[in-house]
Structure 1
Amino acid sequence: MFPLKDAEMGAFTFFASALPHDVCGSNGLPLTPNSIKILGRFQILKTITHPRLCQYVDISRGKHERLVVVAEHCEHSLEDLLRERKPVSCSTVLCIAFEVLQGLQYMNKHGIVHRALSPHNILLDRKGHIKLAKFGLYHMTAHGDDVDFPIGYPSYLAPEVIAQGIFKTTDHMPSKKPLPSGPKSDVWSLGIILFELCVGRKLFQSLDISERLKFLLTLDCVDDTLIVLAEEHGCLDIIKEIFYDFHSYELMKDKVFSEVSPLYTPFTKPAGLFSSSLRCADLTLPEDISQLCKDINNDYLAERSIEEVYYLWCLAGGDLEKELVNKEIIRSKPPICTLPNFLFEDGESFGQGRDRSSLLDDTTVTLSLCQLRNRLKDVGGEAFYPLLEDDQSNLPHSNSNNELSAAATLPLIIREKDTEYQLNRIILFDRLLKAYPYKKNQIWKEARIDIPPLMRGLTWAALLGVEGAIHAKYDAIDKDTPIPTDRQIEVDIPRCHQYDELLSSPEGHAKFRRVLKAWVVSHPDLVYWQGLDSLCAPFLYLNFNNEALAYACMSAFIPKYLYNFFLKDNSHVIQEYLTVFSQMIAFHDPELSNHLNEIGFIPDLYAIPWFLPYVFPLHKIFHLWDTLLLGNSSFPFCIGVAILQQLRDRLLANGFNECILLFSDLPEIDIERCVRESINLFCWTPKSATYRQHAQPPKPTSDSSGVRSSAPYFSAECPDPPKTDLSRESILLNDLKSEVSPRISAEDLIDLCELTVTGHFKTPTKKTKSSKPKLLVVDIRNSEDFIRGHISGSINIPFSAAFTAEGELTQGPYTAMLQNFKGKVIVIVGHVAKHTAEFAAHLVKMKYPRICILDGGINKIKPTGLLTVPSPQI
């Protein structure tokens, strides 16, 4: 995207053709509205950026198949030169011709034909340079198939275009379908326009429409007529070259432009974020960066991309339909005036004739930026050039800094609607992403606060660690050869988030197919399971014009959060996941766990879709995954528990049948609350409590000592830890299922006790006694073994005498201690795994939360040198 600079934003509207309501497609589903088709095709136009083309920004769909297109706009055009009715000098005509050809060549390179070239669609910016407008209308409407008006203007259409007439695909057999217009038709239109500039008047101005068409269809005399007139006006060389060299790329090399072409630097599109090219190859910095913010009259907003400006314009109250209504482009009619034409038996008709609004209104309305600029009037220049380092003491402060600090504490949904706050976040993330992967850690820290919606796609890619030349890798994958999975993909796509206009478009379906097929083909050891399409949807939506990035993000997400879920036989992976999830419910909410187990409502019946966290609408998935991508592979467990806790009261009050009905149509979930509670649950969950044998193996760290990283314990920043001698051991699935509470590793216990390991592991010290204990260790061995050596600060409750016959905890001096620690982590330590599991299960029955078991028992702690013995009595 280019900066807005001196350009403006404009909007124009048109209607797509309406489809009959009682007709279905070959798949038995209702036909896709033409407006949806146009919306999908439009998206690629946003990626076609060139100094000679007006940048497309957005398209919105309204009622009755109305579409509103937003694009870069300039107030002046070649039409203004023709109104002066004076011939334009040959040197000026040559420059205009060359600049138009630059734009046409770039369009043709991307498979786009203008077809609607006319003087009022060739705009002039404030420096007098050419900008081609409405060049995407022919492409987005499928060569005019999806609208009721012709694309192009008779006075400028090539003779062969007029000769074939107006057609629609549905009106012709495939074998008789005329070919769409090619680049030659645009060159013809350009020749007519240049001729008019040379003679200073419209060529067919004195003829009515029928006479114009008859004249253009007399192909034998057109060339001769134009040549004679061109010779009379001294522009023969230009016109001859235009009409006899029919390709823009050939014309630009012609000798007629030998003096003009050296004045222009060839356009090179800047390298993208994930590219093999150097992004900083042409980087230039001012000699004194501090001077960037000094000019109080500088228009900093104009330095931002037109996409950003439009996004902020919408946040500041911009309303496309209101702008068009104010200019009387959209006119509302009372219902009585919209009645169809009614024919009586005697042949007399009554009612409305053809609605002229279905035809194209060529007017482009300029969108005023006054409201946006007024909203941002207190934003200082330094906000547009934020420093990325910590030392910002010398940075001048904006008048609105206090307001921004206050906005940061507001709910996320309000922050995302705050114009000034979003401006600052967008600029900050834009700079950080341009420095990726060097600034990856800072991107992660800022993402913990929030992610601006406009920057979400690239930010997710950075959080997932996507790097390298992803396009070359994606292009190398065979996405065309038929494979057995094709049939299932075809069935799933029309059911995946089809409420969304973008994903429900034919373009969206085609991109779905390619990305999903690329993943299946490039992962031969895995298979396509139902649900992969829904997993792909958020990445495709955010990177609709970048399939390679959508594929790369999905390929990075699946091994991190769904490792081995897509094996041909994934039953052991699913069962382990369900068991760990069941233990997480018991760990965080024992009362709910007890109730669900009593009524037989096990996670197998409702929780499997939660492992692929896509069960929500896209707008909720975005907020959920903004946080999910900050955590490790255990975070989905916390999301699942948070969802259950929102439904807690209803679940506790109901039996099995009612719970089944409740989850058959999942009630509305407060996603912001879910995210908040998920983070809290994540911070209270020891890392090893969610250990899974079938999770992705941890990546090696730079620390070669065998000791885990010293990253904060309760932090989403911690990745899945590497395996050490104190890590959890794998156990059989049946043994795991027999335990109600999760196991934790010895290293987690040491971290929670705030102890450091001795001997072979680390140096022996204990941290400050003043710090609050995070847990209670309950040693269930007999008192003799406890006295011989135990973990400092632990209490002894022998298993043999801990519970009464009724399952109640035996009263003793430790009872009050247990009550005091209720709500904190309680770790059960013993000799025999069966005893520790039973003891933990008893406490869960008594509604003690955060109960866990030390994996490996006391024997895992003995080599560390952390066991102590009581001081001798004097």
Structure 2
Amino acid sequence: MRPLRDAQLGAFTFFASALPHDVCGSNGLPLTPNSIKILGRFQLLKTISHPRLCQYVDISRGKHERLVVVTEHYESSLNDFQKQRVLQIAYEALEGLEFMNKHGMVHRALNAQNVLMDGKGKVKLAKFGLYYMTDHGADVDFPIGYPSYLAPEVIAQGSVHPSDPSQGENPLPSGPKTDVWSLGVLLFELCAVSSLKPPCLDLMIDYLIELSVRSCIDDIVTVLAEEHGCLDAIRVSLKSITSHCLLHWPTPAELLVDPVFEGVSCLYAPFQQPVGLFSSSLRCAHLELPEDISQLCKDDDEEYLGERAIDEVYHLWCLAGGDLEKELTNKEIIQSKPPVCTLPKLKDVAGEAYYPLLEDEQSSLSQSNSSNELSCTVTLPLIIRERDTEYQLIRIILFDRLLKAYPYKKNLVWKEARVDIPPLIRGLAWAALLGVEGDIQAKYDSIDKDTPIPTDRQIEVDIPRCHQYDELLSSPQGHRKFRRVLKAWVVSHPDLVYWQGLDSLCAPFLWLNFNNEALAYACMSAFIPKYLYNFFLKDNSHVIQEYLTVFSQMIAFHDPELSNHLNEIGFIPDLYAIPWFLTMFTHVFPLHKIFHLWDTLLLGNSSFPFCIGVAILQQLRDRLLANGFNECILLFSDLPEIDIERCVRESINLFCWTPKSATYRQHAQPPKAQGDSSTNGFGKAANYYSSDYQDMPKTDLSREPLALSDLKAEVSPRISAEDLIDLCELSVGGQTKRSKASKPKILAVDIRSIEDFGRGHISGSISIPYSTAFSPDGELVQCPATGTLQSFRGRVIVVISHAMKSAFATHLVKVNYPRVTTLDGGINKMKPTGLLTVPSPQI
């Protein structure tokens, strides 16, 4: 959106038509309220930006079908016009009307109060979207337009409500020419009869509408213009314009090229739509820096906030406690357009905050901010940070600059996203985290979204049940966009199929990018391969089963007591976790929780969802441990309230304690191209978890693929030899790979015989021979967890043997010993490395 500058934020309100409560649609569901239909259509209006149109900012839905619309506003209107500028005013108004027509819209409500003037005296058309958002007046009980300015054919239709079946055939929507008539009447009234008072004015307008001969209009205009002192040039121009508008009825586009505007059109440069973030065009060609950038924020009188986008200023006003209906109530005009102009605290924000420096990539928010108060805000809970006006201003400005420099500043976007993501620009931030680039609109447009396909029926059934508590997604526009994005994904991925749950996956991306279907599709297309690779195959059973088995091992790894209990009662992940992972929890949580959850999910690799699943179980831990199978089934049929912020916090901790090879999956996404991995991670574990284990080059020390039956037979996860070397910080070529702070603490437990241990073992490992704990037939002789291991409880335990003897690790899990793993391939994988230690002979 364009900057606020000298504009105000204004609001107007109206009621949508109420629907009967006892009527259902053809699908058996209740009818969608007209206010929600209007809310859905309104979203498109926010994307329409032109110098001659007042920018739409937001819409809110209140009680009894009330709608309050927030828009760019100016105090001056055509009532304050200068007669000498009649040609410029007409030309500027036509520019706005032509731009609307290109978007398939008609104003239909032109009058002097809806033609505003900005601080430079330029025309700004207000309420230009009212006719469109109300479906040409079908969703409201009042007529759109003012009778004195409506074209004859509109008046001839009479007051017909389009949605009333008793009225017969619905009237056709008005076309662009009706606005030209209204403009002609408006210019005639303002320039020629501005001093006439009602009812004289109404009589004059009524008479004018009845005129059909050019000479009559010419005579009236000439007489009135001379009587009220108009200049000759203005009189000639007015006669020409009114003749064209009221007799020939051209479209705005045709009238703009009329010879009457030859001396005016040269004063205006053609409007160029700003280049979006994801396109093939150069975005920064118009950018210029002053010679001395230190002077950017030295002017104490500079209105820095006025240079921010209108939607940003409104968002901050809401955070500062702004309430639209309360403002209207306080002014005792719930049906008028009061200015919204209070932004507490923000006037005191230093100018430097509007121009953050990006070059020092080592700086952090707390270091680079001059305000100690903001530095402390970073440590507060996320929900408080998102409601802090000044903090959000700083974060919005920072992310706005980083995203404008994307993908050049991709690493800094990742770094700042680890702090938090401002809700106002979450959609673009997610796209950057997912690595979306290029001309996404052209790619989306090239996909056939209209030809019927077999999946259409299932999509139509699923959409009315997907997050329909949300007003935006439940609107007809929301349903239409859902269908288009889902169908685009299905058509563009012929090797995959539509599974129930894909609509839930689409919902967060569509909500955040409601006016940019191409970006919603691009984000969804980047998200699924990363976190749900091959989940949407026609036969996905082997992928799902491997995923659930690894999840079971993660439960045993992090919480063996809970794992043992769930296995004993037969409450396995197949019964509850498939919807979790197939929809990445969007089927489980409402959207506002998904936004916070995915802010962190997108920073992690494909194994992070396992940690989220374990964190959810641990929040329900006490209830699960206290109940049997039937009670657990009932518990998950209506999942209790989950603290998402706690879930995120615990997920990160679990993630940092999980060796990356422990979540290896044979059916995960294949390795990316060299240099294509993202710099993700969480705090101290950022280095260790910089990429998926699957993305690492495969060597002789990597984990080997395992048959599903063998994987299911093991309670504990395996880790690779290269992971063991890295976690034990064994020297490779005289250097260790990573610092101690970047890895979980680990203990290698060698269960070979004393003799074999003496011939060579991992440095720092301890020996607990298998024969001391288990008999030759596998019977437990002595619990290994009661002796030496007890002092190391809490570390990651890696069991090492000649072959895979899972009984040792399985017993540790059975006695509730956490973080137990086994070394894939056993000691034989380590022998070729030359890293085994032989103890020195004692003298």
TM value normalised by structure 2: 0.93
Aligned to 2:431: 461
Aligned to 2:35: 35
State the alpha-carbon separation in 2 of the partners of residues 769 and 65 from structure 1: 60
1:485 aligns with 2:476: no
State the alpha-carbon separation in 2 of the partners of residues 789 and 396 from structure 1: 49
SS, match of residue 263 in structure 2:
coil
> Which of 256, 276, 279 is the equivalent residue of 1:275?
279
1:328 aligns with 2:301: no
* Shift of residue 664, structure 1, vs aligned partner: 0.4
State the alpha-carbon separation in 2 of the partners of residues 849 and 701 from structure 1: 36
State the alpha-carbon separation in 1 of the partners of residues 740 and 275 from structure 2: 55
Aligned to 1:747: 722
SS, match of residue 9 in structure 2:
strand
State the alpha-carbon separation in 2 of the partners of residues 478 and 858 from structure 1: 55
SS, match of residue 859 in structure 1:
helix
User: Once structures 1 and 2 are overlaid, which stretch shifts more, 132-141 or 605-614?
Assistant: 605-614
Matched letter for residue 824 of structure 1: R
User: Once structures 1 and 2 are overlaid, which stretch shifts more, 377-386 or 672-681?
Assistant: 377-386
Aligned to 1:311: 315
Matched letter for residue 857 of structure 1: G
Matched letter for residue 523 of structure 1: H
State the alpha-carbon separation in 2 of the partners of residues 770 and 605 from structure 1: 38
1:231 aligns with 2:235: no
Aligned to 2:230: none
Q: Report matched runs for 1:308-707 at 5 Å.
A: 308-330=312-334, 361=335, 363-369=336-342, 372=343, 374-390=344-360, 401-611=371-581, 612-613=583-584, 614=586, 615-702=588-675
Aligned to 2:231: none
Matched letter for residue 240 of structure 1: S
- Measured against aligned partners, the alpha-carbon deviations of 1:318-337 in whole angstroms (never above 9, x if no partner) come to 1101110012123xxxxxxx
* Shift of residue 212, structure 1, vs aligned partner: 8.2
* Superposition CA RMSD, Å: 2.5
User: Once structures 1 and 2 are overlaid, which stretch shifts more, 121-130 or 669-678?
Assistant: 121-130
> Which of 703, 723, 733 is the equivalent residue of 2:697?
723
User: Once structures 1 and 2 are overlaid, which stretch shifts more, 487-496 or 603-612?
Assistant: 603-612
Change (3 A) 1:455 1:601: same
> Contact 1:701/1:722 (CA < 8 Å) preserved in 2?
no
State the alpha-carbon separation in 1 of the partners of residues 367 and 418 from structure 2: 24
Aligned to 1:336: none
Matched letter for residue 724 of structure 1: K
* Shift of residue 869, structure 1, vs aligned partner: 1.0
Aligned to 1:859: 828
Aligned to 1:810: 782
- Measured against aligned partners, the alpha-carbon deviations of 1:418-445 in whole angstroms (never above 9, x if no partner) come to 0010000000000000000000000000
> Which of 196, 199, 220 is the equivalent residue of 1:206?
199
SS, match of residue 296 in structure 2:
helix
* Shift of residue 202, structure 1, vs aligned partner: 7.1
Aligned to 1:187: 180
Aligned to 1:84: none
State the alpha-carbon separation in 2 of the partners of residues 431 and 405 from structure 1: 20
Change (3 A) 1:202 1:107: farther
User: Once structures 1 and 2 are overlaid, which stretch shifts more, 172-181 or 417-426?
Assistant: 172-181
State the alpha-carbon separation in 2 of the partners of residues 398 and 277 from structure 1: 33
Aligned to 2:8: 8
* Shift of residue 815, structure 1, vs aligned partner: 5.1
* Shift of residue 219, structure 1, vs aligned partner: 5.9
* Shift of residue 166, structure 1, vs aligned partner: 2.2
Query: Taking every aligned residue pair, what percent have the same amino acid on both sides?
Result: 74
Aligned to 2:87: 94
State the alpha-carbon separation in 2 of the partners of residues 578 and 502 from structure 1: 34
* Shift of residue 717, structure 1, vs aligned partner: 3.7
TM value normalised by structure 1: 0.90
Matched letter for residue 446 of structure 2: A
Aligned to 1:356: none
- Unmatched runs of 5 consecutive residues or more in structure 2: 226-234, 678-683
* Shift of residue 198, structure 1, vs aligned partner: 1.9
Aligned to 2:137: 144
User: Once structures 1 and 2 are overlaid, which stretch shifts more, 383-392 or 266-275?
Assistant: 383-392
* Shift of residue 779, structure 1, vs aligned partner: 1.1
> Contact 2:748/2:799 (CA < 8 Å) preserved in 1?
yes
1:293 aligns with 2:297: yes
> Contact 1:155/1:212 (CA < 8 Å) preserved in 2?
no
> Contact 1:155/1:204 (CA < 8 Å) preserved in 2?
no
> Which of 121, 124, 133 is the equivalent residue of 1:128?
121
* Shift of residue 409, structure 1, vs aligned partner: 0.4
Aligned to 1:106: 99
Change (3 A) 1:766 1:563: closer
SS, match of residue 163 in structure 2:
helix
* Shift of residue 859, structure 1, vs aligned partner: 1.1
User: Once structures 1 and 2 are overlaid, which stretch shifts more, 747-756 or 483-492?
Assistant: 747-756
Matched letter for residue 780 of structure 1: I
Matched letter for residue 146 of structure 2: Y
Aligned to 2:680: none
User: Once structures 1 and 2 are overlaid, which stretch shifts more, 398-407 or 316-325?
Assistant: 398-407
Change (3 A) 1:727 1:14: same
State the alpha-carbon separation in 1 of the partners of residues 362 and 628 from structure 2: 59
Change (3 A) 1:213 1:5: closer
> Contact 2:392/2:422 (CA < 8 Å) preserved in 1?
yes
* Shift of residue 124, structure 1, vs aligned partner: 0.8
Aligned residues: 817
Aligned to 2:270: 266
Matched letter for residue 445 of structure 1: K
* Shift of residue 253, structure 1, vs aligned partner: 1.2
State the alpha-carbon separation in 2 of the partners of residues 389 and 767 from structure 1: 26
State the alpha-carbon separation in 2 of the partners of residues 410 and 743 from structure 1: 38
- Measured against aligned partners, the alpha-carbon deviations of 1:533-574 in whole angstroms (never above 9, x if no partner) come to 000000000000000000000000000000000000000000
Matched letter for residue 322 of structure 1: K
Aligned to 1:344: none
State the alpha-carbon separation in 2 of the partners of residues 625 and 769 from structure 1: 29
Give structure 1 regions of 4+ aligned residues with deviation exceeding 4 angstroms. Answer: 172-175, 211-217, 395-400, 711-716, 762-773, 804-809
Aligned to 1:845: 814
Change (3 A) 1:324 1:792: same
Matched letter for residue 619 of structure 2: Q
Aligned to 1:255: 259
State the alpha-carbon separation in 1 of the partners of residues 689 and 189 from structure 2: 67
Change (3 A) 1:137 1:765: closer
Matched letter for residue 746 of structure 1: A
* Shift of residue 172, structure 1, vs aligned partner: 4.7
- Measured against aligned partners, the alpha-carbon deviations of 1:136-172 in whole angstroms (never above 9, x if no partner) come to 0000000000000000000100001101112233335
SS, match of residue 14 in structure 1:
strand
SS, match of residue 295 in structure 2:
helix
State the alpha-carbon separation in 2 of the partners of residues 772 and 560 from structure 1: 24
SS, match of residue 417 in structure 2:
helix
- Measured against aligned partners, the alpha-carbon deviations of 1:42-73 in whole angstroms (never above 9, x if no partner) come to 00000000111100000000000000000000
Change (3 A) 1:748 1:121: same
SS, match of residue 694 in structure 1:
coil
Change (3 A) 1:194 1:409: same
> Contact 2:161/2:167 (CA < 8 Å) preserved in 1?
no
User: Once structures 1 and 2 are overlaid, which stretch shifts more, 410-419 or 803-812?
Assistant: 803-812
1:785 aligns with 2:756: yes
Matched letter for residue 299 of structure 2: D
* Shift of residue 810, structure 1, vs aligned partner: 2.4
Change (3 A) 1:520 1:808: same
State the alpha-carbon separation in 2 of the partners of residues 73 and 723 from structure 1: 59
State the alpha-carbon separation in 1 of the partners of residues 37 and 211 from structure 2: 36
* Shift of residue 772, structure 1, vs aligned partner: 10
